[in-house]
Amino acid sequence: MGGAKPSSDQSDEATKKLGWATRVKQGGLKSIDLVQNRLNLFYIWEKRWLFVALAVGASMVIYVHPSDLSDAGVAVLAMSVVATILFITEPVPLPTVALLIIVGQVLLLGIDSTDVAKSLMTDSVLFIMGSLMLAVAIVKQRLDKRIAWLIVRLTGTKTSSICFGISLVSGVLASFVGEHTVAAMMLPVGITLITLTSDNPRAVRNLAAVILFSICYGCSVAGIGTPSGGARNAIMIGYWKEFFYDPTNPDTSIYLIDYLNWMMYAYPIFLIQLPLVTMLLLFTFRPEYRDLSRAVVKLRHQVEEQGPMKSADWVAIGIFFTVLLGWITMSQELGMGTVAVAGAAAFLVVGLVRWEDINSGVNWGVILLYAAAISLGIQMKETGAAAWVAQHFLAVVGPVGADDGIGLWAAVSLLTTGVTNTMSNGAAVAVLGPIVLKLAVFAEESPIILGYITAVSSSFAYLTVVGTPACTIVYASGYLKTTDFLKVGWKMVVMSTIVMMIMAIVYWPFLGI
Amino acid sequence: MKGGTPKVTEPKKPKTATDPDVFEKRKNRFRILVCIDGSEESYRALRYASLMGRGDDCDIVLVYVRPIDQGLHSGGLQVRVARQNLLDWGLELPGMKHLKKGLDILMEEGQLEDDWGTETTHTDIAGDPLGDNKIEYFNENGKSIVLKLKTASDPASGILEQYHLGPYQLIIMGASGRSHYGFRSMIDRAVAEKVAVNAPCSVLVARDLKPGYGHLVCTDGSQRSFDTVRKDAEMIVRRFENPMMSVLSVAPDEESRADAEKAANTAADVIRETGIDVLETIVKVGDPVEQIVETGQDYSLIVMSDSGTNRLKRLFLGSVSSKVLEKAKNSVLVIR
């Protein structure tokens, strides 16, 4: 465009003052204007990361041909890189990435489309789907007021104990039914407490932060507690089985992690973190009110309006505990996904939730996304791409002493924390899982320990709004700023990492790996 | 606000500028879009808007932009489930409170009477369960006051989208940025600048906006600046009870002082033609941006002409007006 400039050099002062756009036009290039109108620059700018990602992917497929990796491996790697860039920058709606992964597997890897379709549905995906339906059903039972009443009965009216009570109850619930469920249930409780304390939002700025973060961080630290706490746990269990379990070799049955086994490893980590979360929050935000008795009295009135527990409430609680029992006792034979789906079906059969509610409450695109990400993760293993990345990762971290033992654990934890803060934690585990598990093989570490470290670290997404479901839901209330997440989030990351590393070093060896 | 059962509202065709009749009708009215973010500045700006919006030919639209509720980051559970739960508890959407406070202010100022008709409209927005919500108050003469809770990916694009729903003559937004409530200070400086650059109409960026000190219009002697002066006088200043305008012209050096004086006098004549008194005619020598910012402090607001109508140019070139917008300590009105 600059080419038209010299033609008007000799023109007078006034013309010089005009911008280049005018000069170009005066040079007779009115067509530029036409092009500018026709071509939607904004569209290109908005989607720039899509083009960047595709360019990176294409150049990888064309130019990168390492001697120790097959062409299919390069293609899978390229797809993973493109998917990761798209996960983080979101130039297109995220389910589009899932669709692109499916298309890519058929076109780039030449896999039969029926096989690709088959690889999409696994027990982990079924579990994610079932537990999301359960989540909607549980939120719809309107048990939140009962839970709120329970909390304030237990804790009294002191702000610090209410916050701990909220974290504890949110956490325990979230560890079984998933953090998004509990965040959605508890959010109104938190906001009601805040608005009942004061109508002036400025006067309760810090109180609001403490209460709302008690909910979302309580849920976040709990999500790792049991396999049903979050999609990422189910994904990791699926990867262990896919990567290491061999039905002909009885020794490999340790890679079939069941519900209780997971809880033994992870639940104590959650319990230890709970009081620390409350302390960190109170220390960081220092709420304006030390006592919430005014709000609590009003809340109690609201709750009492609801009257005693109805039979429908008991049925809902009954189904919920049956599902829980099913996960604990039967997930090995039936699969966790089957139990979750059966629970959702039970809620529908007894009429406690309408299908329309489930249909509009579950984001089906997320299920598709997880399905495609897991399917890609398995291709990472099949084509040797995961192994290749793992080897190179070890070569890079080797010089700083992080290629085995605790150094490697910390490196994996750090890597996962970094990735999970930029995208949803399930996607982070789906992308990183295959690499980490292969890493364990090459470093001669236990894949189970590194797998747990990845799954647990993926919950350290305290820094951003998009990191964990609970943060996103609580942020939607409009009471928190993104900077609040940074302000307290880094302390949470440090605290959680230290707790996890100590547990990994001190406690896990007792469990016999 | 909508509460109770999560019924899917029939997408009602909103009255937008796509309807040519409405568009033509609205073009002849003086429509002000006031961006409310809950900050004191935005309410000061609203009071100012109310001063110029007394006549029946003037509509005031209050808009609050809230981020889209989306389900992908919430682990597959739609945020709407949480949102519905909040509504069931009797809690409102973020922003509704701010808009209602804005309405109270307009009532105080006598803009709105109790007997006005109301109409509530809901528009579905892709990706958000609750979409846009709008309450319109109108009197028999066709004057209307609208509260609009808008959903958009970010504040600036929300405000600009709102422009395209019905042409406005003026967008007013606060620049202070400290939203005392809730998420990201909704209308921070960057947002104000983004809107000022991209909006197709005049934009008033309010900073500590105090009425009663008159407008300071700046002229560089170009025809465009005189047009600006005329437009400001005819469109905005004459709406105040005691209209006041002053003229500033800045000469880059002593030699061109005479030119600047001439420009200032011409501008003053333009103002007098419209029947408005000229308070002062000031000529300064020095850097235009510095002089305008400094002199402007004594007035309610600084009036600048837009550097060009080409959006691309505005985006890349930077101009005196955008620099003034950035550096000024008080309010700036960019006439377009």
pLDDT tens, residue by residue, B245-285: 888 888 888 888 888 888 888 888 888 888 888 888 888 88
In whole angstroms, what is the distance from residue A266 CA to residue A178 CA? 15
In a domain, B152, yes or no: yes
Nearest CB neighbour to A476, from listed B79, B95, B312:
B79
Beta strand pairing status for B30-35 and B58-67?
A: parallel
DSSP E strand stretches across chain B: 30-35, 58-67, 117-125, 128-138, 144-152, 170-174, 202-206, 215-219, 245-251, 278-285, 301-305, 331-335
Smallest CA-to-CA distance from A496 within A283, A282, A287, A280 is with A280
- By the 8 A CB rule, do A426 and A468 touch? no
Cβ distance A363 to B85 less than 8 Å, yes or no, reads no
One domain, residues A89 and A194: no
| Predicted confidence (pLDDT) at residue B67 exceeds the cutoff of 80 | no
| Predicted confidence (pLDDT) at residue B10 exceeds the cutoff of 50 | no
In a domain, B275, yes or no: yes
Which chain B residues have a beta carbon less than 8 Å from that of A91? none
- DSSP-based three-state secondary structure for A394: helix
In a domain, B5, yes or no: no
CATH, residue B77: 3.40.50.620
Mean pLDDT (chain A) is 84
Q: What is the pLDDT of residue B96?
A: 80
| Residue bearing the bigger pLDDT, B64 or B19 | B64
Which chain B residues have a beta carbon less than 8 Å from that of A479? 94, 181-183
Cβ distance A201 to B81 less than 8 Å, yes or no, reads no
Cβ distance A366 to B76 less than 8 Å, yes or no, reads yes
- How many CB atoms lie under 10 A from the CB of residue A74? 21
Which chain A residues have a beta carbon less than 8 Å from that of B74? 180, 183, 363, 469, 472-473, 476
Cβ distance B312 to A479 less than 8 Å, yes or no, reads no
Contacts across the A-B interface (CB distance below 8 Å): 146
One domain, residues B192 and B296: no
In Å, how far is A480's CA from the nearest CA of chain B? 5
One domain, residues B189 and B237: no
Nearest CB neighbour to A183, from listed B82, B313, B317:
B82
One domain, residues A166 and A101: no
Cβ distance B180 to A205 less than 8 Å, yes or no, reads yes
Nearest CB neighbour to B75, from listed A94, A366, A481:
A366
- By the 8 A CB rule, do B324 and B293 touch? yes
Q: What is the pLDDT of residue A315?
A: 92
Q: Which of B147, B179, B206 is the last residue of a domain?
A: B206
Cβ distance A361 to B80 less than 8 Å, yes or no, reads yes
Q: Which of A119, A147, A174 is the last residue of a domain?
A: A119
Q: What is the pLDDT of residue B184?
A: 35
| Residue bearing the bigger pLDDT, B124 or A464 | A464
For B248, phi and psi rounded to 5 degrees? -125, 135
Percent of chain B with pLDDT over 70: 80
| Predicted confidence (pLDDT) at residue A284 exceeds the cutoff of 70 | yes
Q: What is the pLDDT of residue A456?
A: 92
One domain, residues A139 and A110: no
In whole angstroms, what is the distance from residue A430 CA to residue A324 CA? 25
Which chain B residues have a beta carbon less than 8 Å from that of A94? 72
Q: What is the pLDDT of residue B19?
A: 63
SS (H, E, C) B135-166: EEEECCCCCEEEEEEEEECCHHHHHHHHHHHC
Predicted complex ipTM = 0.70
Which of A145, A180, A298 has the highest number of chain B CBs within 10 A, making it the mutation to test binding with B?
A180
- DSSP-based three-state secondary structure for A19: coil
Cβ distance A476 to B83 less than 8 Å, yes or no, reads yes
One domain, residues B112 and B256: no
In a domain, B14, yes or no: no
One domain, residues A169 and A201: yes
Per residue in A461-495, pLDDT (tens digit) is 888 777 778 888 888 777 887 788 888 889 999 99
Q: What is the pLDDT of residue B12?
A: 42
Report the range out of A23-27, B93-97, B251-255 with the highest average pLDDT. Answer: B251-255
In Å, how far is A22's CA from the nearest CA of chain B? 9
Number of domains forming the structure of chain B: 2
- How many CB atoms lie under 10 A from the CB of residue A461? 30
One domain, residues A75 and A152: no
pLDDT band of A280, cuts 50, 70, 90 = very high
Which residue of chain A has the CA closest to B5?
A: A357
Q: What is the pLDDT of residue A93?
A: 78
Cβ distance A424 to B75 less than 8 Å, yes or no, reads yes
Mean pLDDT of the B26-43 span: 83
Structure tokens at A230: 């979050």
| pTM, entire model | 0.73
Which chain B residues have a beta carbon less than 8 Å from that of A95? 72
One domain, residues B192 and B268: no
| Residue bearing the bigger pLDDT, B226 or B182 | B226
Cβ distance B82 to A367 less than 8 Å, yes or no, reads no
| Residue bearing the bigger pLDDT, B241 or A37 | B241
Cβ distance A481 to B180 less than 8 Å, yes or no, reads no
Q: What is the pLDDT of residue B55?
A: 76
Which residue of chain A has the CA closest to B182?
A: A479
Which chain B residues have a beta carbon less than 8 Å from that of A191? 86, 89, 91
Show the domain range for B219: 215-335
Q: Sign of the C-alpha dihedral, residues B270, B276, B281, B284?
A: negative
How many residues in total does chain A contain? Answer: 513
Mean pLDDT of the A55-83 span: 88
pLDDT band of A2, cuts 50, 70, 90 = very low
pLDDT band of B307, cuts 50, 70, 90 = low
Mean pLDDT of the A247-270 span: 86
| Predicted confidence (pLDDT) at residue A348 exceeds the cutoff of 90 | yes
In whole angstroms, what is the distance from residue A387 CA to residue A18 CA? 59
One domain, residues B58 and B153: yes
One domain, residues A47 and A185: no
| Predicted confidence (pLDDT) at residue B54 exceeds the cutoff of 80 | no
One domain, residues A324 and A402: yes
- By the 8 A CB rule, do B123 and B14 touch? yes
pLDDT band of A43, cuts 50, 70, 90 = low
- By the 8 A CB rule, do A219 and A182 touch? yes
Structure tokens at B219: 């002229």
Percent of chain A with pLDDT over 90: 23
pLDDT band of A278, cuts 50, 70, 90 = very high
Cβ distance B85 to A477 less than 8 Å, yes or no, reads no
Per residue in A149-200, pLDDT (tens digit) is 888 888 888 888 989 999 999 999 999 888 888 888 888 888 888 888 887 7
Nearest CB neighbour to B184, from listed A361, A472, A481:
A481
Using the structure block, give the residue that is written with the tokens 């690709």: A116
One domain, residues B161 and B113: yes
Q: What is the pLDDT of residue B181?
A: 33
pLDDT band of B129, cuts 50, 70, 90 = low
| Predicted confidence (pLDDT) at residue A508 exceeds the cutoff of 60 | yes
Mean pLDDT of the A351-373 span: 88
Number of domains forming the structure of chain A: 2
In Å, how far is A407's CA from the nearest CA of chain B? 31
Smallest CA-to-CA distance from B235 within B29, B62, B17 is with B29
| Predicted confidence (pLDDT) at residue B186 exceeds the cutoff of 80 | no
Q: What is the pLDDT of residue A9?
A: 45
| Residue bearing the bigger pLDDT, A227 or A39 | A227
| Predicted confidence (pLDDT) at residue A406 exceeds the cutoff of 60 | yes
Show the domain range for A10: 2-119
Q: Which of A119, A150, A175 is the last residue of a domain?
A: A119
Cβ distance B75 to A178 less than 8 Å, yes or no, reads yes
In Å, how far is B70's CA from the nearest CA of chain A? 9
Mean pLDDT (chain B) is 76
Q: What is the pLDDT of residue A276?
A: 93
In Å, how far is A49's CA from the nearest CA of chain B? 17
Structure tokens at B105: 């202010």
Which chain A residues have a beta carbon less than 8 Å from that of B76? 128, 132, 180, 231, 362-363, 366-367, 370, 469
Structure tokens at A358: 């489930």
Structure tokens at A320: 């919920």
Q: Which of B206, B223, B253 is the last residue of a domain?
A: B206
One domain, residues B240 and B181: no
Task: List alpha helices for A90-143, DSSP H.
Answer: 94-107, 113-120, 123-140
- The 3-state DSSP composition of chain B as helix, strand, coil percent (nearest 5) reads 40, 25, 35
Q: For the stretch B121-143, what's the b/e string if a residue is b when 16 or more beta carbons lie within 10 angstroms of its beta carbon?
A: bbbbbeebbbbbbbbbbbeeeeb
- By the 8 A CB rule, do A47 and A85 touch? no
| CA B99 to centroid of chain Cα atoms | 15
One domain, residues B159 and B282: no
In whole angstroms, what is the distance from residue A252 CA to residue A55 CA? 41
Q: What is the pLDDT of residue B310?
A: 52
Which residue of chain B has the CA closest to A133?
A: B77
Nearest CB neighbour to A472, from listed B79, B91, B181:
B79
- By the 8 A CB rule, do A389 and A432 touch? no
One domain, residues A17 and A149: no
Cβ distance B72 to A479 less than 8 Å, yes or no, reads no
Nearest CB neighbour to A363, from listed B72, B89, B93:
B72
One domain, residues B183 and B284: no
One domain, residues A139 and A58: no
Using the structure block, give the residue that is written with the tokens 């951003």: A464
One domain, residues A392 and A477: yes
In a domain, B7, yes or no: no
Which residue of chain B has the CA closest to A476?
A: B69
Q: Which of B206, B235, B265 is the last residue of a domain?
A: B206
One domain, residues A218 and A168: yes
Q: Which of A77, A102, A119 is the last residue of a domain?
A: A119
In a domain, B52, yes or no: yes
User: In which order are the strands placed within the sheet that holds B128-138?
Assistant: B117-125, B128-138, B144-152, B58-67, B30-35, B170-174, B202-206, B331-335, B301-305, B215-219, B245-251, B278-285
Which chain A residues have a beta carbon less than 8 Å from that of B86? 187-188, 191, 477
Q: What is the pLDDT of residue B89?
A: 74
One domain, residues A31 and A138: no
Q: What is the pLDDT of residue A472?
A: 81
- How many CB atoms lie under 10 A from the CB of residue A15? 13
Structure tokens at A162: 């209410």
Q: What is the pLDDT of residue A350?
A: 92
Query: H/E element holding A414?
Result: helix A405-420
One domain, residues B319 and B285: yes
Which of B81, B180, B222, B306 has the highest number of chain A CBs within 10 A, making it the mutation to test binding with A?
B81
Which residue of chain A has the CA closest to B127?
A: A93
Q: What is the largest CA-CA distance in chain B?
A: 74
Report the range out of A173-182, A399-408, B167-176 with the highest average pLDDT. Answer: A173-182
Nearest CB neighbour to A94, from listed B8, B72, B74:
B72
Nearest CB neighbour to B76, from listed A19, A21, A128:
A128
Cβ distance A187 to B85 less than 8 Å, yes or no, reads yes
For A384, phi and psi rounded to 5 degrees? 85, 5
In whole angstroms, what is the distance from residue A134 CA to residue A327 CA? 13
Q: What is the largest CA-CA distance in chain A?
A: 90
Q: What is the pLDDT of residue A7?
A: 42
- By the 8 A CB rule, do B63 and B33 touch? yes
Using the structure block, give the residue that is written with the tokens 């560089």: B220
Q: What is the pLDDT of residue B80?
A: 74
Cβ distance A21 to B185 less than 8 Å, yes or no, reads no
In Å, how far is A172's CA from the nearest CA of chain B? 18
- By the 8 A CB rule, do A468 and A216 touch? yes
